[in-house]
A and B are shown apart, each in its own frame.
Chain A
Amino acid sequence: MTAPAFEEFLSLSVDLTAFEETDLLGTGLAHQYLAKVRDACGEEVVTALLDAYRAARAEATGDDGRPDPRRLDRALRHRVFSDERLGPVARNVIKLWYAGTWYGLPPEWTDCYGARPAAETSTVTAASYQEGLLWRAIAANPPGAKAPGYGSWAQPPRIDPRYRKGQGHDGTG
């Protein structure tokens, strides 16, 4: 795989998950996840996804060289999430990071763009379940791994106030 594609996949993943690049790299799975998306959807789809993402960022970037969150959100919705081919793949990338599971793409997608054996629902590795970001988002451990320690459950959860209801910002990435 080419290094720029990996860098862009990582950048896309940061925007899709709201976890920092170091968090994503810290899972040790970023390369495997990109490979998984390639196996499941094909090189062409991955290239198109990253192209659309690059275009969305460019569209949202102002004179200061940084993307404006509201404009980026709109550009992602228009160019990626609402796209017949790219939308389901982007949503799958989010779920891959959060759950550690590659979910089978919907039949309307495979009907149009082809079904590959690797596209079926599967865990990528035993570690991917344990590294699911979902658990970190809710300040819990993946059941069966990364135990927090005896009695920890009696304490309040350590959830950043920005993610608690009515206490964060408006929410968009």
Chain B
Amino acid sequence: MYVKFPEGATKRTNPEAAADVVYDAVIVGGGIAGAIIASRLGAAGKSVLILEAGPAEDLTLKGYEGYLDRFYSATSKDNQSPYPVNPNAPMPRGTDARRISPGTPDSSAYLVQSGPFATDTTYTRVLGGTTMHWEAKTPRMLPEDFRTRSLYGVGADWPLTYEDLSPYYNEAEHEIGVSADVEDQSYLGVEFDEGYVFPMKGLPLSYLDRMVAEDVDGMPVELDGVRRELRVRPYPQARNGIPNPGYVPRGAVSTYQVEVGGRCQGNNNCVPLCPVQAKYHAGKTLSLALQSPDVHLVGQAVAYRVHVDEHTRRVTEIEYRRYDKPDSTHFTTERARGRLFVLAANAVENPRLMLASGLPGSNGLVGRNFMDHAYLLAWALLPEVAGTFRGTNCTGGITDLRGGGFRGRQAAFSVDIHNDGWGWARGAPMTDLADLVDAGGRYGESLRQGLVDRVSRQLQLAFMVEVPANPSNRVTVDPAYTDHLGNMRPILTYDLPDYTMRGVAYARQLSKRIFARLGAEDHTRYDPDFWGYAVYGGEGYEIRGGNHLAGTHMMGSDPKTSVVDANQRSWEHSNLYLVGGGSMPTVSTSNVTLTIAALCLRSAAAILAQLDAESAPIRLTSTDTAQARPQEVVL
């Protein structure tokens, strides 16, 4: 069956009527974190209100194909191209990034950047959130990633271990539908329960991956006195493959997919949109959550302020602005009341909302320790035609340098082999076409030959380099910067530490060795005018963002040095959970979504326990809230 919402699910809740209801939980954000928590609370019979900043339409075949059509028609096919521009819930766009002049913040786009380092990092504010455009690579974090402070003196330790999170990783992999094989994913200390199988078999490596593997497998690398051998390894992927016994893949939205079972078809378009929903997106979980009549959803609802009782410090309500239409600034002020509140808006929007509400935390840590991955790209032409531009965006890579003692000195990384060639680095293949025709004078047979020669031999390696937590990297707000609805916009202050740059420099050297081993022509050249140009050790590099937002409400075991506890519950506001990448003390070398999903499954259990423990009526004392009412649930 293809993914769709119960008919009318997004319209069945009247915001004004909802304001008179005290929900068990109010969730801000209809992305993966909010969807997972809503689904678990709904299944336990709790009443839930989800506030979504983007328009909320029932997920249907027609609606999804609207995104697809917008993508086909767009002249710029960046990762936001399928999603309509919405000034009331604006989103950062990769194409917004500009070089920042010292002392002059770039406020030309929604995300205000005060630098010194500019980033093109993005997130998508539509129902389903950034999982609409994510690539859906789902590596688990390594056991050592939870203890980088103790082991390497870098970053922060988690209040959780790999073993603590492991059962939730299992559950998350089944919730989002991961294709992978245990034997490929057991490395650098990652262990699986005995007999564990992923929901679906691993996706085959691409022909390009195999060509790289022929030369790279067994390549010796010595780092900090430890010799290791590289190998090309498949990545686990949140997209439908061949199911293992007992698992029924979810999703597939085209009627054709219904017939063939919803498997990945190799559209090579994971980012920005899988045309057939073989790739997981949070709509799949939302469609289950909304099966419960007690899970309500209000779209076009942009959270404006978190109200807190001044005595108990508990959250009393979330004030939000509900706009009439995306192209009109007219809105009504509404409120959402609940026993518990969950901010699931992402690691930029969560702290933005807290800070705009005047809630920086007594330790001032809300918004601090912003993290992302720093991507270094290196590109070359292989000696033979590899048929680049086929497969999912990425099927394999090199993960042997994700962990090890060298992390005391330099950042770890994982390496993607991009099936889409130099697309990310240089806009291939359209730039190759334009160059061959306009500058090369090619046409006809000579053009066809030139394209195969220039495009089908492309190899791009993407080094995803870790960025450790640093309190100076932060999200703030300022009343001088607001959006159309009067919401304060996020201001990002971001720089890359030498620790990361040492990893970057090492990555570039390693790429040269890999290309030499492959007999590939290295075409990498970093442009000093590039907005993310960074110099280290006399060499310049182009650094890009990873959209792997983390760290802004970091979890810890001490309220003095963290914002939330291991359950993602606010230390200061006992009925508030800040969930998502913002809770992560390290990003290390994992794409963040799987870990976010695991953390939220864990939090859902904690939220249910808290709701049951606090079953007594709540006294509401804030001045603008009426007397306590018994809980009402609108069905």
Contact = CB atoms under 8 A, between A and B. Distances in A.
Interface of A: 15-18, 76-77, 81, 90-91, 94-95, 98-99, 101, 103, 121-123, 125-127, 129-130, 134-135, 137-141, 143-145, 147-157, 159, 162-165, 168-169, 171-173
B152 interface: no
Given A138-B389, A153-B395, A18 B73 contact: no
A103 B185 CA distance: 45
Given A157-B386, A168-B449, A169-B445, 17 more contacts: A98-B433, A123-B73, A134-B433, A138-B389, A138-B455, A139-B456, A144-B72, A145-B267, A153-B206, A153-B266, A153-B268, A154-B207, A156-B387, A157-B390, A163-B445, A164-B449, A171-B450
Contacts of B446: 171-173
A163 B457 CA distance: 13
B263 interface: yes
Contacts of A150: 241-242, 263-266
Nearest 5 CB-CB pairs, A to B?
Answer: A173-B444, A157-B387, A153-B391, A147-B265, A144-B269
Nearest to A149: B265
Interface string B395-429: 10000000000000000000000011000000001
Interface stretch (B55-63, B435-443, B610-618): B435-443
B3 to A, nearest CB: 18
B268 A122 contact: no
B211 to A, nearest CB: 9
A68 B446 CA distance: 16
Contact of A165 (B206, B269, B385, B419): B385
A145 B276 CA distance: 9
A140 B429 CA distance: 11
Contact of B73 (A125, A164, A168, A172): A125
A168 B445 contact: yes
Contacts of A156: 207, 387
Nearest to B445: A18
Contact of A137 (B69, B204, B452): B452
Contacts of B605: none
A145 B77 CA distance: 13
A157 B69 CA distance: 28
A137 B436 CA distance: 14
Contacts of A154: 204-207, 210, 391
- Looking at A76, A101, A134, A135, the one whose CB has the most chain B CB atoms below 10 A away is A134
A153 B452 contact: no
Given A121-B75, A154-B207, A164-B385, A91 B437 contact: yes
B434 interface: yes
Interface in B159-191: none
B387 to A, nearest CB: 3
B452 A164 contact: yes
A17 B420 CA distance: 23
A152 B447 CA distance: 26
B496 interface: no
A18 B207 contact: no
B199 interface: no
Contact of B449 (A81, A99, A135, A165): A165
Contacts of B387: 138-140, 156-157, 159
B499 to A, nearest CB: 35
A138 B433 contact: no
Contacts of A149: 265-266
B277 to A, nearest CB: 12
22 contacts: A15-B444, A17-B444, A17-B447, A18-B444, A129-B72, A134-B451, A135-B389, A138-B429, A143-B267, A143-B269, A144-B72, A144-B275, A151-B203, A157-B456, A159-B456, A163-B451, A164-B449, A165-B385, A165-B449, A168-B445, A169-B445, A173-B446
A9 B282 CA distance: 48
Contacts of B266: 141, 147-153
Contacts of B207: 153-157
Contacts of B438: 91
Given A144-B267, A159-B452, A173 B443 contact: yes
A123 B444 contact: no
Contacts of A16: 443-444
Given A91-B437, A159-B387, A126 B419 contact: no
Contacts of A127: 72
Interface string B451-493: 1110111000000000000000000000000000000000000
Contacts of B242: 150
A163 B444 CA distance: 11
Contacts of A77: 441
Nearest to B261: A150
Contacts of B430: 99, 101, 134
Contacts of A173: 443-446
Contacts of A171: 445-446, 449-450
Contacts of B444: 15-18, 172-173
A15 B444 CA distance: 6
A129 B441 CA distance: 23
A155 B395 CA distance: 13
B343 interface: no
B158 interface: no
B68 interface: yes
B300 interface: no
A133 to B, nearest CB: 9
Contacts of A98: 433, 437, 447
A73 to B, nearest CB: 8
Contacts of B447: 17-18, 94, 98, 137
A121 B268 CA distance: 24
Given A140-B268, A145-B267, A123 B74 contact: yes
Interface string B144-164: 000000000000000000000
A156 B385 CA distance: 9
A99 B205 CA distance: 28
Nearest to A165: B453
B433 A95 contact: yes
Contacts of B455: 138
A151 B456 CA distance: 18
Given A94-B443, A147-B276, A152-B390, A126 B267 contact: no
Contacts of A172: 444-446
Contacts of B392: 153
Interface string B254-285: 00000000011111110001011000000000
B390 A126 contact: no
B456 to A, nearest CB: 5
B267 A99 contact: no
